[in-house]
Amino acid sequence: MTLTKRLSFLLCFILPILVILAEEVGGVSYLIVPLTVFVILPLLDFVWGKDNSNPEETNFLKLQNDSYFRYLTQVWAYVQLSFVVWSVYRIALYPHTAFEFILFAISVGIVTGGIGITVGHELGHKNTRYEQFLAKLIYMTVCYMHFYIEHNRGHHTNVSTPNDPASSKKNQSFYQFYPQTVIGAYQSAWELESKRLKKLGLVSFHYRNEMIWYFVITALFLISMIGFGSLYSQSTIRWDILGFLLLQSLIAFSLLELTNYIEHYGLNRKEVSPGKFEKVLPIHSWNQNYFVSNAFLFHLQRHSDHHANAGRRYQALRHFEEAPQLPFGYELMILVALVPPLWFQMMNPILESWELKNQLKQ
């Protein structure tokens, strides 16, 4: 891997710095964060172009075990926790207009969701307890800890089938998909935990149910943040801090679900027997390979290889040309997904063309 590409994964750390600078200035300056993500990054994608390099299999183990890449994701977990605590401190100590309050929360949510949940997703797939702990720490800050259970044990098993709430269907708008995935994923996480406990001979409402612990941990985090912020308010309980944390969490996990919507739109695994589906292949996820946005999102857009080989760390993920390809990077595709007629007009012909091409190959 080139030095440029190794260093490119530091790009995401610019985003919390922009939020800190915007908070110092106030007013409309917070808009620098969404403008950077949804305008500047897509422009850089077009200028820089695509990254068609794949890691050589002979160097796979060396790249997979390179501690530099592991440390980047681990450090982010502490950056995110510190960043959220700092944002609470700023809300508690400095006056904000309603306009600034909302823009600040949106900016924080873009960081904690756009980057944070992406890193949590990477860490959550690893087989070390430390990295799994850091993944849960990140999810705690955005009130979405159940994602750890549902994504690993639910989504990766049921992806691109009718059983997966996080896989969007053809002609399903994001606004139809959103309640399906938010509510369905939470229900799925409870069902997965209930099945696990049942195998152990335990009832669902048991102290070993991780979903119960996730609720308690998240509640304690929110209460502690309210208490921390209230220290600066002369015994006044700062309920606005709760509102701020919930708003940034809403932005964060909504970005996650927009990404879920994009990643598997209209793709289906064949049902080989009643209730059983073919093996997950690279063709069951949308892929994209722009250099800048891929670096910014820790190769999340090489999603085809991730689903086919979930154990690969982000730096070792490969681009599969035979997988269905998105026309643009995630940042721009998220904006398109928010306008269903535009999304259908753009994506349905690509989906249908790819389906026809795939059928002819068979």
**pLDDT for residue 253:** 97
Q: Please answer whether residues 13 and 79 qualify as being in contact, where contact means their C-beta atoms are separated by less than 8 angstroms.
A: yes
Q: Would you give the DSSP letter of residue 50? A: B
At residue 268, does pLDDT exceed 70?
yes
Structural contact between residues 45 and 94, judged by C-beta atoms closer than 8 angstroms? no
Q: Which of 147-156, 163-172, 229-238 has the lowest mean pLDDT?
A: 229-238
For residue range 340-354, what is the model confidence (pLDDT) as tens digits?
999 999 999 999 999
Task: Give, as one character, the DSSP assignment of residue 39.
Answer: I
Q: 216: which 2 tokens?
A: 């308690």
pLDDT at 77: 97
233, pLDDT greater than 80 = no
Two tokens, residue 16: 């919390």
The three-class DSSP label of residue 320 is coil
Give 46's contacts (C-beta < 8 A, 6+ positions apart). Answer: none
Is a pLDDT exceeding 80 seen at residue 220? Answer: yes
In sequence order, what DSSP letters do the residues of 127-185 get, joined into one string? S-HHHHHHHHHHHHHTT-TTHHHIIIIIIHHHTTSTT-TTSPPTT--HHHHHHHHHHHH
Element (H, E) at 294: helix 291-296
pLDDT computed for residue 362 by the predictor: 60
- pLDDT at residue 114 tops 80: yes
* The residue type at 20: I
Taking 80 as the threshold, does the pLDDT of residue 360 lie above it? Answer: no
Give the pLDDT score at 59: 86
Q: What is the mean pLDDT of residues 175-190?
A: 97
Mean pLDDT of 29-58: 93
Query: Residues for the chain: how many in total?
Result: 362
Look at residue 201 and give its three-state secondary structure.
Answer: coil
93: left (phi over 0), alpha (psi -120 to 50) or beta: alpha
- Per-residue confidence band for 325, with pLDDT thresholds at 50, 70 and 90: very high
- What 3-state class would DSSP assign to 243? helix
Other residues' Cβ atoms within 10 Å of the Cβ of residue 204: 15
The domain segmentation of the chain, as residue ranges, is 3-360
Q: Provide the mean pLDDT of the chain.
A: 94
Q: Average pLDDT for residues 120-128, to the nearest whole number?
A: 95
* The predicted structure's pLDDT at residue 58: 83
* ∠ CA 129-133-138, rounded to 5°: 150
pLDDT in tens, 270-316: 999 988 999 998 899 999 999 999 999 999 999 999 998 888 999 99
What is the C-alpha separation between 6 and 277, in angstroms, rounded? Answer: 37
Question: What pLDDT sits at residue 28?
Answer: 96
> In 3D, which of 124, 125, 83, 139 has the Cα closest to residue 256?
139
What CA dihedral angle connects 286, 153, 109 and 228, to 10 degrees? Answer: -170
User: What are the beta bridge partners of residue 287?
Assistant: 325
Q: Report the alpha-carbon angle 14-228-24, nearest 5.
A: 35
The pLDDT value given to residue 56: 85
pTM of the full predicted structure?
0.95
The answer to whether 302 touches 54, Cβ cutoff 8 Å, is no
Question: What residue type is 39 in one-letter code?
Answer: V
Could you identify the residue written with the tokens 């049921």?
158
- Write down the pLDDT at residue 275: 86
* pLDDT at res. 359: 75
pLDDT over threshold 80, residue 245: yes
Residue bearing the bigger pLDDT, 2 or 74: 74
Q: What is the pLDDT averaged over residues 225-243?
A: 89
The bridge status of strand 276-277 relative to strand 271-273 is: antiparallel
